[in-house]
Homo-oligomer: A and B are copies of this chain.
């Protein structure tokens, strides 16, 4: 259950409204923990109910816009969560299931789907590389920046591995 803590993290970096948060999420933490705007609004309401954040209406602004900021209790909660023992995240990889199925009842037209999937991963990889070139082109001594860069690199590694995976699967499937 990481969403509330991901939101707390983002709000500590900078307070903002629900919609802004959803947007920022798409471009940073969202690469590793996606959330729709409905989830975000619901979770903000819960966090407010628990006294972790406070949302104050933006004076005279459009819509019912509210700016959420993290309360001390929220920081404490995030710190508490951070030192919990993390369980290895349960693996749920549909692609593997597909390949096992293909092994049993194949051949099907899975090759084309794999090629398409590889292309999608290539696009995501390019996005990551651009972010890296823009935000992390020079070395830094600051640990927090190193961590952010590191998280991005992990994303790059992941996409790279996925592409190689698709390509090797295709070459095995073609070998028949």
| Shortest beta-carbon distance from A175 to chain B in Å | 6
A63 at interface, CB cutoff 8 A = no
| Shortest beta-carbon distance from A118 to chain B in Å | 10
**How many positions in chain A have a CB within 8 Å of any CB in the partner chain?**
71
A106–B110 Cα distance when bound, in Å, is 45
* CB pair B79 A108 closer than 8 Å: yes
Q: How many chain copies?
A: 2
| Shortest beta-carbon distance from A15 to chain B in Å | 13
A54 at interface, CB cutoff 8 A = no
* CB pair A97 B2 closer than 8 Å: yes
Question: Do A175 and B143 form a contact, CB below 8 Å, given A89-B92, A113-B85?
Answer: yes
* CB pair A100 B172 closer than 8 Å: no
Question: Do A176 and B106 form a contact, CB below 8 Å, given A86-B94, A90-B34, A150-B99?
Answer: no
A120 at interface, CB cutoff 8 A = yes
Residues of B within 8 A of A8 (CB): 101
A contact residues vs B (CB 8 Å cutoff): 2, 5-6, 8-9, 12-13, 28-29, 31-34, 75, 78-79, 81-86, 88-106, 108-110, 113, 116-117, 120-121, 124, 143-148, 150-151, 154-155, 157-158, 161-162, 165, 168-169, 172-173, 175-176
